Amino acid sequence: MGAYRCVSELWRRKQSDVMTFVQRVRCWDHRRQPAIGRPTRPDKARRLGDKAKQGYVVLPCPSRRGGRKRPVHKGIVYSKPKHQGITQLKFQRNKRSVAEELLGASWVDSGCSPPTGTPPNFEIILVDVAHSAIRDDPKDQLALQACAQARRAPWSHLCWQQVPWPARQRPHSPQG
């Protein structure tokens, strides 16, 4: 059994004594590391698209805890009582996509880092597109183009240049 396989098997049993101790020590150590560093789970980062080469960076990005609050002045909502909720609103997108949008850079993928008492972090794999090691490798270029095409969304204007949707063809009208 290889090293990555052994680590992934260990992560599957999260409530074992070994894993709880290792996770506690790792979270303590992870909070004291610099912001840009190595992934907490190298096997998961490798599956998500991280490579051990220059130009790839793993960056923890925090997301806010709890629900969304409606941005109204002094809590006054001029509407029907049904629509006057302010505090217990649920955001339409998940926390991971919000964290990726906050970063606003060319990213490959992201995964959740170990839970702590602080706000949840998502480790986002960034790629420096202008780096010569990335520009000269055709495999990296293909991977980045595939990621860009898969991520066509209304909120992706911070990360990618907008790609127009394909024009819809009109159905043929019967000639008669």
Q: What is the mean pLDDT of residues 143-167?
A: 51
pLDDT single digits (tens) 99-135: 777 776 566 667 666 556 666 677 888 887 778 888 8
Closest CA to 49 of 111, 98, 104, 99: 111
Give the residue extent of every domain in the chain.
3-158
Q: Hey, what CATH topology would domain 3-158 get?
A: Ribosomal protein L15e (3.40.1120)
- Given a cut of 60, whether residue 76 has pLDDT beyond it is yes
Distance CA 70, CA 73 (A): 9
174 class by beta-carbon count within 10 Å (0-12 exposed, 13-18 middle, 19+ buried): exposed
Q: Are 61 and 100 a contacting pair, CB within 8 Å? A: yes
pLDDT single digits (tens) 83-107: 888 888 888 888 777 777 777 656 6
Helix (H, G, I), strand (E, B) or coil at 141: helix
pLDDT single digits (tens) 49-71: 888 888 888 877 777 778 888 88
Distance CA 9, CA 168 (A): 47
